[in-house]
Structure 1
Amino acid sequence: MRFALVNGERSEAAPKLQGCCLGCSQPMIAKCGTQRVRHWAHRGNRSCDPWWEPETLWHRDWKYQFPSEWQEVVRHDQKGEKHIADVMTENGLVIEFQHSHLPLHEKVAREGFYQSMVWVVDGTRLKGDHPRFLDGRRLFRPTHLNGVFTIADPKGCFPLAWLTCSMPVFFDFGHTGVSTDTSTAKTGVLWCLLPGRVEGCAVVVAVSPVMFMNAAQKRAWIIPVRAVMETVAAALRREREIAEREAWSSIYDRPQYRKRRSRSFRSFRRRSRF
């Protein structure tokens, strides 16, 4: 963990400091070696939060983009269960940064516990993840919304383990220029897979890291998921209806159908005579 309570205040690890865990109030050890970033650890292998896991530099760098008081926030539910969120904004949005593999049941549990949350996933964890995305991105279909795309088969772009999430998943493929200096604007694109499907297609939104950070600081959501999905669904329905009308028109424009229509029209004129 980055923070522990020292004399009742949140503090980062430093040599000779003694602290207590934010979650369980048990003593913490300040790890201040040269091989890993300074952090606090429980004595032995004990952890008060079963969802907590060792942080990579990627993980820590992302957290450093946010105010320290938003990092490692203890959340409780009505049953007394508690977990430590990576980041929780002042608007109540939880942001979980995930590098390592996460079992499906734990994804479901975290989404149910936090409810208002998004995932940020390290898209370079496995060697083939980024090349697969680059190859599959060619199948993205642009919509009339800027930066919003659809794809019929997201398995060709994104890791299978993240396709069924009920919360937005932002994939960081390693080109966001994350810096521990929060004044430094990041570059690149985060690719967000929205939950659910419209007309059988997945919806993907390209978001700049700067836009991501600005939204997190100002709103309780990064992307208005429902509004985007409804707008894209309406557009796809219109496209399908137009395609179906054109298909029927092309059928009835064939010579054999034109002859039938002509005979039907002559027959109608004879029956209509007075």
Structure 2
Amino acid sequence: MRFALIDNEHMEAKPDLVGAVCPGCGASVIAKCGTQKVHHWAHRNTRMCDSWWETETQWHRVWKNNFPVEWQEIFLPDEQTGEKHIADVRTEYGLVIEFQHSFINPVERISREEFYKNMVWVVDGTRLSRDFPRFLKGGKFGSTELKPGVMHIEFADDFFPRNWLRSSVPVVFDFLGLDNPDSADHIRKTLYCLFPSHDEYNAVFAKISRKAFIKTVLNGEWSDRVRAYMDEMEQKYIEKELQRKESQQGVYYRKLYKVYIYPHRIKSTRRKRYK
């Protein structure tokens, strides 16, 4: 954890601080201030009280620093299990942002999405060396621009890691990592927001500047904009499905006519002629 309570005040981990407790469960925590990992608080005698919690990296901290301290590490109770889960960032508008660096089990991913509901993932696209080259290679085979900055792609796993294609919430990929945005090329410093899709092979993603993403989260516009676009996508999907079913129904009736009705009419006509 980044913050612990000392005399009811949120404090970051430092070597000389004592008497700290976990803001979620009240258990005693100690400062871990080594040189290999970012400074953090750890429970003294028990495991971390949130089963979803993972060790933070500097990448996590850099992203969190874009948002107010009071939005960071918010404990939220699970009424069904009695557990408390720590949202990396929860805005005053109710949006949860989870910054994901390490691999996440699909079962846990689904559990988090169902629990937080109004959320967005920000995924470190530099963790695996193959992820960014795959994205670049996928782009060479083409995509269709639905509107400025919004792309439709086929064979989505040629662009993005397969384990994120079934997410029920938007997933933002960050291929910059800890590099300086000022010295990075446009492709790497741009964020890529993958929208939920009914079809894991066909997907839609949007190109978003880092500043625009942070700004719309800070002013509360992110959720409204994403929800409006997802509603638009859902409506188009419904209309497409209706057209498909109507087309299939038309094929069915044409076959029915050809196999059963038309031959019967021919026979009836012949009988009338010979009477």
TM-score by length of 1: 0.77
Distance (Å, rounded) in 2 between the aligned partners of 1:199 and 1:2: 36
Deviation at 1:82, TM superposition (A): 1.6
Counterpart-to-counterpart distance in 1, 2:5 and 2:31: 11
Structure 2 gaps, min length 5 = 182-187, 244-275
Match of 1:119 among 110, 118, 121: 121
1:100-144 deviation line (CA, Å, top 9, x unaligned): 00000000000011111000001111111100000112322111x
- 1:140 alignment partner in structure 2: 143
- The structure with the greater share of residues assigned to helix is 2
Higher relative contact order by CA 8 Å / sep ≥ 6: 1 or 2? 1
Q: Confirm or deny: 8 A CA contact 1:134 1:157 kept in the other structure.
A: yes
Q: How far apart, in 2, do the equivalents of 1:20 and 1:39 lie?
A: 13
Counterparts in 2 of 1:67 and 1:131: CA distance versus 1, 3 Å:
same
Matched, 1:99 2:101: yes
How far, CA to CA, are the matches of 1:50 and 1:231 in structure 2?
36
Q: What's the CA shift string for 1:48-103, capped at 9, x where partnerless?
A: 00100101111121111111111100012333332000001111100000010000
CA-based RMSD? 2.7
Specify whether residues 176 and 134 from structure 1 end up closer, same or farther in structure 2 by C-alpha distance, changes over 3 A only: farther
Contact 2:91 2:218 in 1 (8 A): yes
- Say if 2:124 and 2:177, in contact at 8 Å, map to a contact too: no
Q: 8 Å contact 2:5–2:22 — kept in the other structure?
A: yes
Partner residue, 1:166 = 168
Query: Using the alignment, how far apart are the partners of 2:192 and 2:8 within structure 1?
Result: 40
| Residues 64 and 88 in structure 2, CA contact (< 8 A), matched pair in contact too | yes
Q: 1:178 to 1:123 in 2, by over 3 A?
A: same
- The separation in 1 between residues aligned to 2:95 and 2:46, in whole angstroms, is 30
Letter paired with 1:82: K
Local SS of the residue matching 2:211? helix
1:34 counterpart letter in structure 2: T
CA distance in 2, matches of 1:198, 1:162: 12
Please state how far the C-alpha of 1:7 moved relative to its aligned partner.
0.5
Distance 1:227 1:162 in 2: 22
**Residues 34, 58 of structure 1: CA spacing in aligned structure 2 closer, same or farther, 3 A cutoff?**
same
Contact 2:31 2:39 in 1 (8 A): yes
* Separation in structure 2 between the aligned mates of residue 38 and residue 3 of structure 1, nearest angstrom: 10
Give the TM-score normalised by structure 2: 0.76
The answer to which of 157-166 and 41-50 deviates more is 41-50
Question: 2:149, 2:223 → 1: CA distance?
Answer: 14
Unaligned runs of 5+ in 1: 180-186, 242-274
In 2: Cα distance, 1:141 partner to 1:26 partner: 53
Asked if 2 retains the 8 angstrom alpha-carbon contact of 1:197 and 1:203, the reply is no
SS class of match (2:189): coil
Count of residues in correspondence between the two structures = 231
The residue that corresponds to 1:8 in the other structure is 8
Aligned 8 A contact 1:92 1:220 in 2: no
Identity of aligned residues (%): 49
